[in-house]
Structure 1
């Protein structure tokens, strides 16, 4: 149990003001927060009474924002901590999967080491939660799961996490369903899937097996869906149907979902309403080489949209920084979010929906009882943070400083 501590001199967003030119501006003020048992126990303007027998941390005027939730990652794939190597060229997805398969056994020997390096990098960028997909396939079985689980358990006092059993080389491939069951018994917490049309060649069967696994193990679902156009769109429609039948509302996510941005606007609106009604989430990496699902429309319709960095510096791509705030900034630039509120509202895609202020200027975060999960940086407000992506000076998880210093 954490000892109580006063977190002093934190800049928090306190309201909105109208500038002389009529523009909306964020008002930020200094606060002291009492942290107890990993949660915010008291919030008061800086300068008030602080108990002398309680320790203090001094934020020295740094802006405090909700810490980030990395909701789509592959801790097992990265080359981080190994010598540099670029990707081998591949003509198509099948060839890329074949190339990956050839190195899986070799890489599995360093799974814990590499996963730990990525965890530390994600932490340094402000993440205190990671949802990682881990390959479960005929080539290495559960070796990657063992290494990733060990790395996450070693950091369990510094972050929260979910592990998705991910059938990268097909759910209907050989004995993969049995391997998936073994993975769920061995520490995986969610069931994954991959391109029921493009990889498994059988949309209905692939989705059925995935949902059967989820219900058997009482687990959530997060499927990679790269299948494009009307094939991918139909796959989402079918998954919505299965989610309703299984009564799995609020427990299913679709990662990538490029197809949702490749159909007519009336179809986008209809499926957005269905996704919202079933509580199905969309996970996006905000790619620059693919069609992006209609993030704005989905969010306005009540669909939960979360960002993730995906795998990076691996056999799929040499790029990536592990910075979710950078993803939010990219989204904001792509969709021309240049005003104060547009930038600030975009932060929610990195924080699982948490933002400091409502559009009316009401202080929404932090509240007494909230987890003491913060990221600290030199910025005047969240809008500036999104636009300029400043260095993270410190990160706090449940009242503990897990990166940097205060």
Structure 2
């Protein structure tokens, strides 16, 4: 069979339906064939009934005290929501059983290519190792991890789907030890999930671009099916903020890619990285809206005036921040970033690997954590926190007007056992089903309302 790219697989995939907590049978298409790797059958169009949607806010003395919902019927065709109709409990349709429908979740910072998940339990190494210590450790252990990385990536994608996530941005190691093999293994795992999961990839020089002499590997990766050029602590790892960022920016421009740089450094080097990258984006408008700083812990340590000045510059340049919502001694100033219009997203980062022992795979949990850290506990505040998990898509706008779903929207949705968005965030409500571009790809066999 002729080889086609990951994006082509995702774009051209037919509609799949897996059995699930939902009951009823979708209308199957003529001459449809199963897609390999998921055991599902194709369907042209189908309908959901008894779907709970948010319709507005309930006010008392000008304060939002509750969320109004209703039951609806949703027609899905060719991966899109065809119509949102009044409910008909007697309709010959798949029964959502009154569960709340929300936009599918998006994990925007994860490392699918290196994980212990899917294998025997193993905790991370002892603490107090520097990034360079971990680079040395990876150089010894990656050859063994690569033997099963495609399998484990697939298992990890399955975990994300079970938590309502249908899309991820994954960083993937590009360095002399792995060469391009980690990328190829991950692309295979994603291909095996075609039609059920979407992804974009970051070529990530985990061992430093110049520190590990990864320049040519990064140039080779940029010609492959990746979406972003990554980086890592330019000053601490490569010894120069300007040298690393200049390389990344030029590579991104040459190959029309985005940029996503890991920045853990604080102090003057961290701030200089933020400011230098921001200036580069202003000088190269093609990178606006396609450039991100992951972690960016330096923002958590800036004085108020400097933070607000920096947030304003990030928003103006359209440079986003992707935070895993750390707590303890590093609480990120996310409310300030939102206030200035910075694009903020989240992800699980490392899940059960040699960097991190923890990780549930749930970005809804990240929204819950954000709500707790910043005291977002009212009905309105909790409902707004959902946007961290959905990529800024909310069923209701700030005034309570329904804005999602509408005919023509992508049919990538999650069903949760909750009465409204606020409850879903506050209780990290159970995911009962996930639909990706019209394909029912996950169902919870055990959960009962």
Q: Provide the TM-score with structure 1 as the length reference.
A: 0.95
Displacement of 1:393: 0.6
Note the alpha carbon deviations across 1:98-127, whole angstroms, 9 max, x for none: 222210111011110110011000010011
Trace 1:1-40 onto structure 2 (pairs within 5 A): 1-2=14-15, 3-19=44-60, 23-40=64-81
Trace 1:59-138 onto structure 2 (pairs within 5 A): 59-93=96-130, 94-138=132-176
Displacement of 1:96: 2.3
Distance 1:90 1:9 in 2: 50
- The answer on 1:189 being equivalent to 2:230 is no
Gaps (5+ residues) in structure 2?
1-13, 16-43
Distance 1:101 1:284 in 2: 27
Task: Report SS of the residue matched to 1:198.
Answer: helix
Displacement of 1:48: 8.9
Task: Report SS of the residue matched to 1:199.
Answer: helix
Task: Report SS of the residue matched to 2:81.
Answer: strand
Displacement of 1:24: 2.1
Trace 1:132-171 onto structure 2 (pairs within 5 A): 132-171=170-209
Note the alpha carbon deviations across 1:176-226, whole angstroms, 9 max, x for none: 111011112232221000000111110000100010110111100100000
Displacement of 1:343: 0.6
- The answer on 1:258 being equivalent to 2:300 is no
Give the number of equivalent residue pairs.
402
- The answer on 1:280 being equivalent to 2:319 is yes
Name the stretch that deviates more: 283-292 or 141-150. 283-292
Distance 2:268 2:411 in 1: 44
Displacement of 1:16: 0.7
Gaps (5+ residues) in structure 1?
none
Aligned match for 2:88, one of 47, 64, 87: 47
Displacement of 1:30: 0.4
Displacement of 1:21: 11
Distance 2:185 2:382 in 1: 38
Per the alignment, residue 306 of structure 2 pairs with 267
Say if 1:90 and 1:96, in contact at 8 Å, map to a contact too: no
Displacement of 1:271: 1.4
Displacement of 1:242: 0.7
Q: 1:62 to 1:48 in 2, by over 3 A?
A: closer
CA root-mean-square deviation: 1.7
